[in-house]
Structure 1
Amino acid sequence: MPVPLPLPRSTRAAHPAKAVLAIVALLLASCTKGQSGLPYDAWRLGFFAPNYMDVWIETADVVDIKGRIFRRAMAGVASISRPAGLKGNPRGWPTDPGWGAGKHVRGAALPRLIYVRWQSLVEPQTYEAYIPIPEATHIAMVKSKKTFCEFDGKWIIDHRYGLTVGLAPGGIAKVWISGPCLAPIKVTRVQADVAKLGPDSGRSGGVYALPLKPQSEAYIQKYGIPYDTW
């Protein structure tokens, strides 16, 4: 039997403001394409972690603005780099985080809430976070923009339909939206809670999903975890 998505009371009762819905509807009126009325086939949810700060995502569940739940929209390994010679820098967030490892959330309307439970393998610790997506972000995700795309040297009409979440030790989750040829916009930063049942909701007996990669273990042993930089 699937475990219900544990939503806080304020989230269960919340509904998008009528004014924002009207703005989003107006922006979508002449450009709908996807099956959920979006100007693209689907928006994408991706995850990454700072260099050497290994992460395993147990589940990332989505609640859209229509109140529908999409369980395990993403799970598994987050995108990460481990430069040779310990020359990578995990401190802080990159200017352009990219799209991370992830999937398109097909059939979903715009995201209202992301619930993510993940294992920070370098500590080790298990965290869970509720990430509300602001109404201003809904508008930004459906607003088209003409931009020059360096990939093919052409002017195109683009949308910011990629939602990227960075997961860092200490339970920090930071979110951006971006398009293939549009610069990222910061959305929010959330402090997660420690998941009291531990990895795999207690089913693994405290055993984490993956061993720490040798490069990551070597970095932690030499430099430690830069907790206050995220």
Structure 2
Amino acid sequence: MEVWVESVDVVDQRGFAYERVHGGTSSIQNPPGGKGNPVGWPTRPGAGATRPMTGIDLPQYIFVRWQSLAEPQTYNVRIDIPERVRQEMLEPREVYCAWRDAHVTQYRKIISIGLAPGGVAKAWLNGGCLESIEIGRFEGAVEPKGPYGGKSGGAYYRPPSEHAQHYLDTHSIPFDSW
């Protein structure tokens, strides 16, 4: 289901806050012709629409505000990053990368966040050819000010795409699948 990310804010383990480190289009897995099934999360979540964040220490909290274009509704969520996840980010792992046809050392240094209607977010720790590790599932809250903190007069980023709108017209949103 399509979303628009208004902002991603990070508080690192030193307590430093970094506002609006990311936002905009969310990378979603669109099948050809938009004929996929939006139920549930992918079995192998990708890195998504990444953005390097230099100078930020390991994350302690990540805050995301997004627009669920399917509903439409604006949500915000706080994602707590446990110590075990921060420790995993520091561990080098030997792995075979099929696309490189080589054994390499990699780190799980990418946090992917899935965003769904109903204010549900799920986070994974990823790293190149390494298997993803689930960090957790998080319940967001409706943003009472609406899109853009109330500065857009209630207007959302855009309506759903043609394929997404067709799905919404012919199916209900599968809220319980996330």
Question: 2:95 — aligned with what?
Answer: 147
Which one of the candidate residues 90, 104, 124 is aligned to 2:38?
90
Q: Counting strand residues as a fraction of each chain, which structure ranks higher?
A: 2
Alpha-carbon separation, structure 2, partners of 1:162 and 1:204: 32
Name the aligned partner's letter for residue 140 of structure 1: E
Task: Give the secondary-structure state (helix, strand or coil) at the position aligned to 2:52.
Answer: strand
Paired residues of 1:82 and 1:216 also in contact (CA < 8 A): no
Identity %: 43
Paired residues of 1:82 and 1:215 also in contact (CA < 8 A): no
Alpha-carbon separation, structure 2, partners of 1:75 and 1:113: 16
- Report the count of equivalent residues: 178
Alpha-carbon separation, structure 2, partners of 1:85 and 1:57: 23
Q: Could you say which structure has the larger radius of gyration?
A: 1
Question: 2:156 — aligned with what?
Answer: 208
1:132 aligns with 2:80: yes
Alpha-carbon separation, structure 1, partners of 2:31 and 2:104: 34
Equivalent residues in 2 for 1:21-60, closer than 5 Å = 53-60=1-8
Question: 1:65 — aligned with what?
Answer: 13
Q: CA deviation at 1:168?
A: 0.4
Name the aligned partner's letter for residue 134 of structure 1: P
Name the aligned partner's letter for residue 100 of structure 2: D
Question: 1:28 — aligned with what?
Answer: none
Q: CA deviation at 1:204?
A: 0.4
Runs of 4+ in 1 over 4 A off after TM superposition: none
Question: 2:110 — aligned with what?
Answer: 162
**TM-score between the two structures when normalised by the length of structure 2:** 0.97
Paired residues of 2:35 and 2:163 also in contact (CA < 8 A): no
Task: Give the secondary-structure state (helix, strand or coil) at the position aligned to 2:157.
Answer: coil
Structure 2, unmatched stretches of 5+, are none
Structure 1, unmatched stretches of 5+, are 1-52
Name the aligned partner's letter for residue 110 of structure 1: L
